[in-house]
Structure 1
Amino acid sequence: MALPRDLVDIRTIYHEAAVPDFPRGRAILDRFPQAERILVPSHWNIPTLHGNAGAVEDWVRIKRSTLVLGVKKGLAMRPNGRSAHFIAPSTSNGCAMACAYCYVPRRKGFANPISLFVNVDTVCAAIRRHAERQGPLPEPDTIDPERWVYDIGENGDLSVDAMLCDNVRDLVALFRDLPNAKGSFATKAVNRDLLAYEPRGKTRIRFSLMPERIARVVDVRTSPISERIAAIDDFVAAGYEVHLNYSPVILYEGWEADWAELFAQVDNRIGPAAKAQLKAEIIMLTHNADLHEVNLGWHPKAEDLLWRPDIQEAKRSEGGGANLRYRSGWKGRWLARFKALLAERMPYCTVRYAF
């Protein structure tokens, strides 16, 4: 795929010393011969990117022009139980897109361009060994009726990663051949190159959706909502299982009317094959005090929607961060209203989990 220059135009590559030792590392470096190469001891600790408050002013430029290459060290599979049975080791971290509510900047500091891991063969081998040890799925559950599901895109967007290298193609091929396992990732980008990957029903793509007028404010540098909806039928026809992420659900005056309009748009634009297999996840917004401060430095308009202490309450995260979520009690009522609205407009769209 020709890289969209407004999304990715790589000018600087930070890389660990071992990167050229891997075929995938050499392929990526060769793809961007004009880029300045900067050797770093660790993909995770780059002072000019991570924790550099001054980088807020260059938030979008860094995402478009900077790439980080490293070798994935941790290969553990983490139990999940919500969107997937297990979180697989990531083949990337960070993103070229800039959604204002993204949790990754909370961990990485003020800039989080794409980091790609070049030892994808090692990651695939670890997933294969783990799946073989699991054996068959004992019984159907809310995650999947037949197979163990591995989330392969927790810390990035694989549709964009696939514009830069073949890691995603390799992951789709891995699951195509695993009899008891399925890969899954959420995306806010439409990359039609993925239609040729032949998933044969073994990769689940979760297109994230929200009302278009809100997405124009908070889903920065992503594919338009209408484009994501238009891609659903094509990805189903190409052999993907396609689910929807209604995520994040942001509350504001008029949210119900906007979501009703979105449900009608989806219902009118997808065909019987997509509807027959469609399921969804609902994720209410969780915000973060540190991210709020970061956003004020580059996109304060988004905070008018995201930072609502009048209807939010503090919640300490497992990692010790100061998060904000919609107030207990009220959140449950709003979620119930959302689910009722979805059931009324799209009764065939089963909710796998709501959070």
Structure 2
Amino acid sequence: MVRSPAARMLDIRRIYHEPDVPDLPRGRQVLDRFPDAERVEVAAHQDIPGLYGNPGTVTDWVRNKREVLVLGSKKSLAARPNGRSADFIAPSTANGCAMACNYCYVPRRKGYANPITVFVNTDRIIGYLQRHVARQGPKPAPNQCDPVDWVYDIGENGDCSVDALISDNVADLVSAFAELDGAKASFATKFVNPDLLTYDPRGGTRVRFSLMPHDVSRQLDLRTTPVSQRIAAVNDFVAAGYEVHLNLSPVVVFEGWLDGWRALLREVDDVLDSAAKAQLACEIIMLTHNEALHEVNLQWHPRGEDLLWRPDLQEHKQSHSGQRNLRYRASWKRTWLDRLIAVIDEEAPYLMVRYAF
């Protein structure tokens, strides 16, 4: 018997929820989807004793992602200027993730336990975005985010393809941006959810499939869709009306690292059809790591740290959010980026590098 994507990814057994969640339509939808789950009422979705900020939860790292769900309302709505991958970071309709990538930065923000939190006041969030887009007016000039549209990242702290297994939040966002002139939604994903092919995006949503060489992905991208399946999905998503880009992310440096990227780009070239290639662009994001996350990873998946924890190649740098992270040394990072871009030019010259960091 072949299990559905939702069954393979989620086995929700406990739902923490704010008091008003059962009274809201989206809250009822999610609760009805998991009728056998234990319900635990909490005062606030971001303050759950025993879950967040508890070092002992590392022993249940993957179990919490698979079995725990948090429901609440998004209280503060703001579209933050970005200017890198997107013009704005939209107020999220969810955060956290059921997948378990070793390098993910979201657990550091959530107190390390990182199950999915779904916000059930979706109408309020979408209404805010519609008003925000209207205030922008036409985009005055092309930039690295997009030549025409204002781009809103709707999945900064999670994976929308997985979120769509839980509620209609993502479907509602795709539908809303299909109607918004001069703006498009954007999200990165490592999970192929065929349900998204039934939506009607009409070019209003950009899906960015994250890729890395297969052997690296098997070591670091836990619980994700295999890379070859992500590549194969690009043609289908373009045909369904999405704009589809690639995230070459994160780029991890080790001896022989470029060979894996060359092989991956050849696979992309072999699999993608002409329509997909004609609209293709990519982002390149070099690895960022964190000492505290390194310590957590050592307790549940230490093998991945062989690639991620390289003090001989890394230096400390303060992030824009105030965290002290580890990034590749600036003196080498530019050289490595240039080498990867040269490989792209050789193997997939139609693949425009829209953003590299």
Q: TM-score, normalised by structure 2?
A: 0.98
How far off its partner does 1:247 sit? 0.3
How far off its partner does 1:316 sit? 2.2
Structure 2 Cα separation of the partners of residues 216 and 4 of structure 1: 21
C-alpha distance 27-2 of structure 1, shift in aligned 2 (>3 A): farther
Tell me if structure 2 keeps the 8 A contact 1:3–1:9: no
Q: Find the partner of 1:63 among 52, 56, 65.
A: 65
How far off its partner does 1:351 sit? 0.5
Tell me if structure 1 keeps the 8 A contact 2:5–2:193: no
Q: Find the partner of 2:268 among 266, 269, 278.
A: 266
Structure-2 residue corresponding to 1:202: 204
Structure-2 residue corresponding to 1:174: 176
Structure-1 residue corresponding to 2:134: 132
Tell me if structure 1 keeps the 8 A contact 2:102–2:297: yes
Letter in 2 for 1:5: A
Structure 2 Cα separation of the partners of residues 179 and 9 of structure 1: 39
Q: TM-score, normalised by structure 1?
A: 0.98
Structure 1 Cα separation of the partners of residues 150 and 305 of structure 2: 38
2:105 counterpart of 1:103: yes
**Secondary structure class of the residue paired with 2:27:** helix
Structure 2 Cα separation of the partners of residues 48 and 155 of structure 1: 22
Note the alpha carbon deviations across 1:50-103, whole angstroms, 9 max, x for none: 111111011011100000000001111100001110000000010000000000
Percent of residue pairs identical: 63
Structure-1 residue corresponding to 2:322: 320
Structure 1 Cα separation of the partners of residues 330 and 191 of structure 2: 32
Letter in 1 for 2:80: R
Number of residues of Structure 1 aligned to a counterpart in Structure 2 = 355
Structure 2 Cα separation of the partners of residues 262 and 109 of structure 1: 34
**Secondary structure class of the residue paired with 1:281:** strand
Letter in 1 for 2:183: A
Structure 2 Cα separation of the partners of residues 318 and 85 of structure 1: 16
Mean CA deviation greater in 166-175 or 134-143: 134-143
Structure-2 residue corresponding to 1:74: 76
Structure-1 residue corresponding to 2:251: 249
Letter in 2 for 1:318: H
**Secondary structure class of the residue paired with 1:75:** coil
Tell me if structure 2 keeps the 8 A contact 1:6–1:64: no
Note the alpha carbon deviations across 1:285-318, whole angstroms, 9 max, x for none: 0100110011011010000000000111111223
**Secondary structure class of the residue paired with 1:84:** coil
Letter in 1 for 2:271: R
Q: Find the partner of 1:26 among 9, 28, 33.
A: 28
Give the aligned CA root-mean-square deviation in angstroms: 1.0
Would you identify which runs of 4 or more consecutive aligned residues in structure 1 move more than 3 Å?
1-4
2:51 counterpart of 1:46: no
Tell me if structure 1 keeps the 8 A contact 2:97–2:114: yes
> How do 1:76-95 and structure 2 match up within 5 A?
76-95=78-97
Structure 1 unmatched ranges of 5 or more: none
Q: Find the partner of 1:123 among 122, 125, 135.
A: 125
Letter in 2 for 1:136: P
